[in-house]
Amino acid sequence: ASGSNAIQISDDVRSKMAELSKGFPDGLTYDIVYDTTVFVRSSIDAVVKTLLEAVLLVVLVVVLFLQTWRASIIPLVAVPVSLVGTFAFMHLLGFSLNTLSLFGLVLAIGIVVDDAIVVVENVERNISEGLSPIAATQKAMKEVTGPIVATTLVLAAVFIPTAFMSGLTGQFYKQFALTITISTFISSINSLTLSPALAALLLKGHGEKKDILTRGMDKLLGRWLFEPFNRFFARLSKGYGWLVKKVIRYGVIVGVLYVALLGLTGLQFATTPTGYVPSQDKQYLVGFAQLPDAASLDRTAAVIKEMSSIALDHPGVANSIAFPGLSINGLTNSPNSGI
């Protein structure tokens, strides 16, 4: 039925079959050879794995660039807070956890982390200039509040119209668009309230005594990771500054190249093949046979049986099911067809 949960139905059917199998005669067994939720479950597992990897990479990047475990706590707290808030709104809107809504959450992770890092990095910069953590946070929020709000409104303007598209396409992308929009709004609120509060509480002035964990990180990672990375990043920043000066000096040439790239982008967009959804490997293969019109059902059954045997000989095939006498065109009865 429309709106039913496929995974819940699959679990209920499997549970019922396991219950009924207890009353089967000796020697009678059953196999589930086709279950559409196998692909759905694997897709959701892959997205959840990506979500966890994103959080882990965020922590590593923050520690590498800011070189303090205290700073990594702020985006680490911001991510689950935004996700929990998003889940609450998803429940209110009747959304389910599916590949599209989870994909929206994965994309939103980048926005959530970006908002948190903008706050933390700006506070750290002000602290490095001699301000106390509280004063540095106050100054940082005066500087970044406008950009955070503007970024949120721009993203909302991009994704919200997608949720109101008509037809099947609109229904298909509604959960994706609203999920990422809700998460973005919660992230902006988080960045304007929780993140600066945590920054003022957790971050320390550069002249203050370091805690045991920070001293341990400096001793363990400072010489072979932090110091080489700082030297590399300083050279990279210097090279970037040199490149920007060159670009500004030759602004006309750069402008012409930019216009040319825009034209090339438009050309590629016009010539790239289009489609509704990309091809996906759903881990099953449908084969069919069409025999001559005069072929009997017995002959068709023999051919279909041979097809099943060939499929089962392949190491990647676990089960096969055959329907001799069934046409793939409309699934109607046809003695010379089989699936």
CATH code of residue 52: 1.20.1640.10
Tell me what the mean pLDDT of segment 86-93 comes to.
88
Asked if the structure places residue 227 within a domain, the reply is no
- Using CA of residue 303, residue 304, residue 305, residue 306, what is the dihedral sign? positive
66 and 190 inside one domain: yes
278 pLDDT higher than 70 = no
| Confidence at 2, pLDDT banded by 50, 70, 90 | low
Count structural domains, the chain: 2
Lowest mean pLDDT among 107-111, 136-140, 191-195: 107-111
Write out the two tokens for 143.
């500087």
- CA-to-CA separations, 132 to 75, 193, 280, in angstroms, rounded: 21, 19, 54
Asked if the structure places residue 246 within a domain, the reply is no
Residue 1: per-residue pLDDT: 53
Residue where one domain finishes, among candidates 181, 208, 235: 208
CB-based contacts of 46: which residues, under 8 Å, 6+ apart?
Answer: none
Specify which of 30-44, 94-108, 261-275 reaches the highest per-range mean pLDDT.
Answer: 261-275
What is the domain extent for residue 115?
1-208
262 pLDDT higher than 90 = yes
Specify which of 91-105, 150-164, 280-294 reaches the highest per-range mean pLDDT.
Answer: 150-164
The SS3 of residue 326 is strand
Separation of alpha carbons 251 and 245, rounded Å: 10
Asked if the structure places residue 263 within a domain, the reply is no
1 and 103 inside one domain: yes
Task: State the virtual CA torsion across 220, 217, 221, 203 in degrees, nearest 10.
Answer: -170
315 and 202 inside one domain: no
* Alpha carbon of residue 246 to chain centroid: 37
Residue where one domain finishes, among candidates 208, 225, 241: 208
280 pLDDT higher than 70 = no
Backbone φ/ψ region at 36: left (φ over 0), alpha (ψ -120 to 50), beta: alpha
Asked if the structure places residue 228 within a domain, the reply is no
Tell me what the mean pLDDT of segment 318-330 comes to.
81
Asked if the structure places residue 256 within a domain, the reply is no
2 and 98 inside one domain: yes
Asked if the structure places residue 320 within a domain, the reply is yes
